[in-house]
Amino acid sequence: MRSNIGIAELKAHLSEYVRAAQRGGEIIIKDRQTPVAKLVPIEQPRMIGEIRRATRSVAEVQRMLDARPPEPPIPPETFQRILDEERADHSDEWIFSRT
């Protein structure tokens, strides 16, 4: 397949040239013998890790999650105490405990 083509040739065989570019080809498009554009493949992103096949189906994982015993609800008083402790400014306690 030629790498320098005219617009009419590109229009007539566009899908073939696109597939050639997907395979790594570079096609220069000319308008009246003047290069005007380039058809090149898009750089594919590199994978950052290893892809591993799943050992269980999504349905099997869902069945496992559904079979878990329900977690006991947190009483409102306990939940409020936890929130209060998280929101408290403990810096004063540290300063007073050092004196």
Res 5: pLDDT: 92
Backbone conformation region of residue 85, classed left if phi is above 0, alpha if psi is from -120 to 50, else beta: alpha
What secondary structure does DSSP assign to 13-80, as a single string? THHHHHHHHHTT--EEEEETTEEEEEE-PPPPPPPSS-----SS-HHHHHHHHHHSPPPPPPPHHHHH
pLDDT tens digit sequence for 47-75: 778 888 889 999 999 999 999 988 888 89
pLDDT tens digit sequence for 13-27: 999 999 999 998 899
Whole-prediction pTM: 0.44
pLDDT (mean) for 65-94: 84
Give me the phi and psi of 29, to 5 degrees please: -105, 130
Q: Is 89 helix (H, G, I), strand (E, B) or coil?
A: coil
Residue 27 β-bridge partners: 39
Res 99: pLDDT: 59
Q: What is the mean pLDDT of the chain?
A: 86
Binning pLDDT at 50, 70 and 90, where does residue 46 land?
Answer: confident
